[in-house]
Each structure stands twice: as C-alpha cells, then as structure tokens.
C-alpha cells in the first residue's frame, strides 16, 4: 500500500467507524427479545477474546509490556465494553428504542467538552458558542425523551430504569474515551482489545450469572452474535482504539452526531419505531448542538 492509499484509508476511518457503530444499537434491538443482555454480552466477549487470541498467536503480536499498562487497558475495557455496552443493551431490553438510546449516547462530546473545561483549564474553557450547543443538545434530547415518556409504544418508551441504564452507558463511554487518551500508551490494537475484553468479561460474568432468563437461540440471535463479534468488536472497537491513539478523537466526535438519525432511520425500517415531527426536531436540535460543541476551537 503506497503513502497516498494509506492516508486515504486513515481519513476514511472515522466515517467507517461511525457507520459500524450505528449498527450496535440496531443489533441490541434485534437480539434483546430473545436474550438477556448480560448473558448475550458475556458470550460476545468470550467469542471475541477467542478470535483475538487466535489472531494474536497467528501474527505473533506482542502483549502490553508493563503491569501498569495492563491495568490501564483493563479499566478502559470495563468502561468502554462492560459498562457502556451493558448500559445500552440493558436499556434496550428495558423497552427503550434504538434511536433514543443512540441519541442519549450521542451527546458524549457534550460531556467531554464540559469535563475538559472543568479539568483542563483555560485552554479548554467552554465558549459561548459551545454553551449554545449544550443548551440546544439537551433541549433536543428532552423533546424526544418527553414524547416517549408520555406516548411511547412497546419497545420504544422511557422508564426510570432504562433511562438510568442509558445514562450510565453515556457516562461510561465518555470516561473510557478520556481515560484511554490520557493513560493508555500506544500498543498493538489486537492485544489491547483482548485485555479490554477480558476485563469486561470479568465484570459482566456476575451480572450474567444472576439473570433468570436464558438465551433463546434462533436466527435473530445467531445473526446478532455474529455481527457483534466480527463487525462491532473486531471491527468497530478496533477502529475506535486506533482513532483515539492516532489523536483523531475529535474527528470521531464531529461525526458522532450522525449516529442517532442513522440509527433512527434503520430502526424505523426494521422495527417500525415511529419517527414523528417531535423526534425529527429533537434529533436535529441535538445534532446541531453537538456539532457546535465539537467544532469550536476550544475543544
């Protein structure tokens, strides 16, 4: 591969990542009628670990060289796999629609901007433009949530339980991204992902063991599992790790506001999740708000 091809591939990575990432919410909605969330995720982690282990052995990949690096990777695995995915899948299992769960998690750049303004000091202070974006983003989210709270249909409504899970997922992916960028040193994406998944499996195992429901295997669950392992974990998670390590997290954030409308459109086509004027307006407000936050020079 020549230099131009390599640069083109790197430039395309954020867009490809967003396209893959959008399917994660759809897969959750696809599988959750037939499987408890943490049992499904536990199997996903174990299968993904097996795939990475085989890949690592075949390619002779080096593992992280220090115990501290293993710890840092383990923490990001708990946050970005265990808690983030667990929160999203539990929210969908609790009746939240794919589009709304994507919209809630899609305000991650807003939380990132707030955190940087508080912790990083003047160089990352929230500007007037960003504050406008924050207000628009939350206004749009409230508009969508309120409609689903009062008029939600089965499989697309809001409760205190599924909202708590979705917010937990939002906080986890935000914290995990910031933590990885700050503490995780560059290493091979395959061994890094394997360590992260092992940590996620360790925290997920007790929750899966406590679930009274068992997995009802059918074509929906098998298809969802296959894409979860091959597309989302081996593909999407690896791309996310590479993007953060390459310093392209800002590019990912600027494209992330495309995930909710894309997910909503797919969910409408597959699951008949309604797209009303309030949903469109709220999603548009949130997208504009997030774009104002991430496009500001202060971030």
Q: In the chain, what are the domain boundaries?
A: 19-26+35-58+65-211+218-295
- pLDDT per residue over 55-64, tens digit each? 999 999 999 9
State the pLDDT at residue 299: 40
Kindly indicate the confidence band of residue 120, based on its pLDDT and cuts at 50, 70 and 90: low
Q: Report how far residue 90's alpha carbon sits from residue 3's, in angstroms, rounded to the nearest whole number.
A: 43
Residues in the chain: 299
Confidence at residue 102, expressed as pLDDT on a 0 to 100 scale: 85
289 closest CA partner among 156, 132, 170, 111: 132
**Is pLDDT of 169 > 50?**
yes
pLDDT at 222: 95
pLDDT score at 285? 84
The CA-atom distances, in angstroms, between 161 and each of 90, 92, 96, 158, 166 are 9, 11, 10, 8, 9
Res. 12: pLDDT tops 90: no
List CB contacts of 180: < 8 A, sequence separation 6 or more: 72, 76, 80, 241, 244
What gap in Å lies between CA 96 and CA 290, rounded to an integer?
A: 22
Distance CA 79, CA 73 (A): 10
Mean pLDDT of the chain: 83
pLDDT score for 85: 94
**Percent of the chain scored above 70 by pLDDT?**
83
C-alpha–C-alpha distance, residues 107 and 94, integer Å: 21
Q: What phi-psi label fits residue 60: left (phi over 0), alpha (psi between -120 and 50 degrees) or beta?
A: left
The predicted structure's pLDDT at residue 21: 80
Of the two residues 261 and 3, the one the predictor is more confident about is 261
Which residues have C-beta within 8 Å of that of residue 119, sequence separation ≥ 6? Answer: none
Q: Higher confidence at residue 298 or residue 264?
A: 264
Alpha helices in the chain (DSSP H): 3-31, 37-59, 67-77, 84-93, 98-105, 108-119, 128-151, 160-183, 189-210, 219-227, 238-245, 249-256, 259-271, 277-295
More confident position, 293 or 4: 293
Beta bridge partners of 153: 156
Q: Which residue is it, tokens 């390590």?
A: 245
- In the DSSP assignment, the letter for residue 95 is T
Taking 50 as the threshold, does the pLDDT of residue 297 lie above it?
A: no
Structure tokens belonging to residue 192: 């890094």
Q: Indicate the burial class of 236 (C-beta count within 10 angstroms; 0-12, 13-18, 19 or more).
A: buried
Please state, for a pLDDT cut of 90, what percent of the chain lies above it. Answer: 39
Residue 291 pLDDT exceeds 50: yes
- With a cut of 80, say whether residue 14 has pLDDT above it: no
pLDDT exceeds cutoff 70 at 143: yes
pLDDT at residue 46 greater than cutoff 60 = yes
Q: What is the mean pLDDT of residues 117-129?
A: 65
Among 93-97, 122-126, 156-160, the range with the most confident prediction by mean pLDDT is 93-97
pLDDT above 60: residue 124: no
Confidence of residue 246 (pLDDT cuts 50, 70, 90): low
Answer yes or no: is pLDDT of 118 > 90: no
User: Who has greater pLDDT, 63 or 259?
Assistant: 63
Where residue 273 falls (left for φ over 0; alpha for ψ -120 to 50; beta otherwise) is beta
Lowest-confidence pick of 35-49, 148-162, 246-260: 246-260
């Amino acid at each position: 591969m020549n230099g131009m091809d390599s640069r083109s591939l790197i430039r395309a990575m954020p867009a490809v990542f967003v396209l893959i990432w959008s399917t994660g919410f759809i897969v959750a909605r696809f599988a959750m009628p037939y499987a408890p969330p943490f049992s499904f995720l536990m199997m996903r982690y174990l299968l993904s670990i097996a795939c990475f282990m085989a890949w690592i052995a075949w390619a002779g990949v080096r593992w992280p060289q220090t115990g501290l690096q293993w710890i840092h990777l383990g923490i990001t695995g708990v946050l970005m796999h265990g808690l983030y995915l667990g929160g999203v899948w539990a929210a969908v299992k609790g009746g939240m629609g794919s589009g709304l769960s994507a919209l809630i998690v899609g305000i991650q750049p807003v939380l990132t901007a707030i955190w940087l303004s508080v912790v990083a000091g003047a160089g990352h202070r929230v500007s007037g433009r960003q504050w406008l974006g924050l207000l628009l983003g939350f206004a749009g989210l409230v508009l969508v949530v309120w409609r689903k709270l009062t008029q939600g249909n089965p499989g697309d409504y809001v409760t205190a339980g599924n909202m708590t899970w979705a917010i937990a997922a939002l906080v986890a992916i935000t914290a995990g991204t910031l933590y990885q960028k700050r503490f995780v040193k560059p290493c091979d994406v395959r061994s890094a992902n394997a360590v992260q998944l092992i940590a996620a499996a360790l925290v997920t195992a007790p929750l899966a063991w406590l679930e009274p429901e068992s997995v009802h295997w059918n074509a929906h669950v098998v298809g969802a599992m296959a894409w979860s392992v091959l597309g989302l974990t081996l593909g999407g998670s690896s791309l996310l790790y590479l993007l953060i390590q390459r310093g392209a997290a800002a590019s990912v954030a600027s494209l992330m506001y495309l995930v909710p409308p894309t997910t909503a459109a797919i969910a409408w086509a597959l699951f008949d999740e309604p797209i009303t004027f309030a949903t469109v307006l709220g999603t548009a407000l949130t997208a504009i708000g997030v774009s104002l936050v991430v496009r500001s020079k202060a971030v």
